Amino acid sequence: MKKRLTAHDLPDDIDALKALVLQKDLHIDTLAKEVSRLSELVRFFKVRQFYKSSEKHPDQAELFNEPEVEDNSSLRASSDESSSASPKAKSNAGRKPLPKNLPRQRVEHCLPAGEKCDCGSEFKEIGEEVSEQLEIIPAKIIVRQLVRKKYACPGCEGSLKLASMPKQPIPKSIAGPGLLAYIATAKYQDGVPLYRQEKAFERLEVELSRQTMANWMIKGAQLCQPLYNLLQDSLLDSGYVHMDETRVQVLNEVGKTAESHSYMWVRKTGDQKHPVVLFDYAPDRTTQTAMNLLPEFKGFLQTDDYAGYHKIGATEQITHLGCWAHARRKFMDAKKVLPKNKTGKADMALNLIQKLYQIEQHIKDQPPNKRLEIRQTESRRVLEQLKTWLDKSLNSTVPKSKLGEALSYLAKNWEKLQIFTTNGRLNIDNNPVENAIRPFAIGRKNWLFSQSVKGAKASAMLYSLIETAKANGLEPQAYLTDLFRDLPNCDTLEQFEALLPWNHTAS
C-alpha cells in the first residue's frame, strides 16, 4: 500500500506543491470516473436481474418532439388525416370466434316432449340458439398394416410375384411418415424433449425409447438433404441474406469437453417472395465458418457487429449492413443505468432511432421504389440529426460508461447502419433472423444439449425445414408428413423441386 503523505513530506517549493495538487486532482478525477462506471454496472446488473427485459422506451414519443421532424412526412400526414376522418374501430373485445375450418359436432338440447306453457298451450319450436364450446379428442395412434399381395401364375407352378409398395422414409422401421413428423414437430417446433415424448407415448401404451426416436430424427434429417441443398441454392441466389449464430452444447464431440460450446448458425433470406431459413451446426464461431456458409454469395449481408463477419463484409461482392436493433439496445442499456425518473443523452438517441422505426412502420407495405423514395428524404433527415448529435456527444462522454459504449458502437457502425436507406428491399435491422432463432433458443431451454454431432446436424436440418415451412405459410407437421412420405420416392430434380415450400401442394 502506498504511504500517505504528511505535512512533513510536502515540498517547500510552490511550483512543486502546485504540481502535486494537480497530480492529486487528476488521480481523484480518474477514481471518480471509475466509481461512476462501477456504479453504472451495479445498476445495470440489478436491472437485468430483477426488472423486465423490454426494449420499449415509453417516453420516446414525448421527448425532443421537434416540429420539423414530425411534420416532414407526407405519408404520415395522409395517414393521420384518413384516421381522423374515419376513426379506427375499436378492437373487438371478448372471446374470438372459433376457426371455421374445425369440424362441428351438433349436440341438441330440447324441451321435454309435451311440455306446456302456463296458459295450457304446448310449446312449438320456432328456431334455435347456438353457442360453441371447444373440445379436444386425445391423440390417437393406429397401426397401419402394409399388406403386399402374393400372386402365382396358374400356367406354371414356379412363377410367383409379390406386389411392390412405395419406399419408406426409414426402411425396415415401424415409423410411418406421420409419426416421424409428429415427433420432429413436437421437439423442434414445440420444444418437447424426446424423454418427455417417451413418457407421453407410455401413457398411450406404446413403447418408444428416446434413443429410438433420436435415431429416427437423424435418419429422417438425412433423407431431407437434397431438399436442403435446393433451399440453400435459393437462399444464395436471393442476393440478400440475414445471418446470426447462437450457442449449442454437444456432449460427445471429438476434441472438445462436454461443457464447451459449439454453435448453430442461421441464415435467412431478406426478401419475402420465397423465404428460406437455414440452420447449420458448426463446432466454432470463426470467420472461416461464416465464409463456408456463403460460398460465392453476392449481394447484401445483414448481421450484428460480431467480428467474424467483418472480413466477409469487406469483400468486393458483398455489401455489409448493420443492425439498428443492436444500436438501439446499447442505448437502452445506457438508459437503464440512469437513476429512476431521470432522462439523459440516451433518451435523445432513443427518440431519434424511434423516428426511424416509425417511418419503417408506415412504409412496410409499400413497394421497394416507394420505400426507397421515403427513406432518401425522411430517414436521411433523421440520420443527419443523429449524426450531428453523435459527433457532439462523443467528446463529452466517458468512453467506458454504458452511454460511451453505445456512442462508440454507433460511431463504429455508422456507415453500415446507413446502407438500408440506399435500397428499398433492405430491412432496417437483423430482427428477421433473430426471430427465426427464437424457437431454437426456447427449445434449448428444454432439451439443453445435443448428445452427438450427428444429432446436432439433424436438429439443424429439421429446424430449417420447419422454420422455412412456417415462413411460407405452411403447417409444419403436415408439411413434414408429406416430405417423409414423398422424398423416398423422388428420383428427378423436378420431383424434388415440387416439394419446395412455395411449390408444394398439401395432400
Q: Stretch 468-489: mean pLDDT, rounded?
A: 94
- In the predicted structure, residue 61 carries a pLDDT above the cut 80: no
| All cell numbers assigned to 178 | 406421420
CA geometry: angle 303, 309, 313, nearest 5 deg: 90
CA atoms within 13 A on the CB side of 31: 6
Name the pairing type of β-strands 150-152 and 262-269: unpaired
Q: In the prediction, which pLDDT does 398 show?
A: 76
Cα separation of 106 and 98, whole Å?
15
Q: Stretch 322-345: mean pLDDT, rounded?
A: 84
Shared domain check, 287 and 360: no
Shared domain check, 170 and 309: yes
Query: What is the pTM assigned to this prediction?
Result: 0.76
Shared domain check, 333 and 289: no
Which pLDDT band holds residue 418 (cuts at 50, 70, 90)? very high
Shared domain check, 198 and 277: yes
What does the pLDDT look like over 308-318, one tens digit per residue?
888 888 888 99
Shared domain check, 309 and 235: yes
Q: Give domain status of residue 403, yes or no.
A: yes
Range of the domain at 499: 147-315+453-506
Cα separation of 491 and 422, whole Å?
44
- In the predicted structure, residue 92 carries a pLDDT above the cut 80: no
Q: Which contacts of 136-139 are long-range, i.e. CB under 8 A and separated by 24 or more positions?
A: 139/204
Range with lowest mean pLDDT among 79-88, 98-107, 250-259: 79-88
Taking alpha carbons only, the member of 383, 382, 389, 385 closest to residue 403 is 389
Shared domain check, 338 and 308: no
Q: Stretch 464-475: mean pLDDT, rounded?
A: 94
Shared domain check, 305 and 194: yes
Overall domain count for the chain: 2
Range with lowest mean pLDDT among 161-170, 343-352, 404-413, 442-451: 442-451
Cα separation of 38 and 55, whole Å?
23
Shared domain check, 423 and 347: yes
Shared domain check, 298 and 162: yes
- In the predicted structure, residue 454 carries a pLDDT above the cut 80: yes
Mean pLDDT of the chain: 83
Q: In the prediction, which pLDDT does 44 show?
A: 61
Q: In the prediction, which pLDDT does 307 show?
A: 86
Range with lowest mean pLDDT among 33-47, 211-225, 402-416: 33-47
3-state SS, 20-78, equals HHHHHHHHHHHHHHHHHHHHHHHHHHHHHHHCCCCCCCCCCCCCCCCHHHHCCCHHHHH
Alpha helices in 148-249 (DSSP H): 177-188, 194-203, 210-223, 225-237
Shared domain check, 466 and 337: no
Q: Give domain status of residue 299, yes or no.
A: yes
Shared domain check, 289 and 174: yes
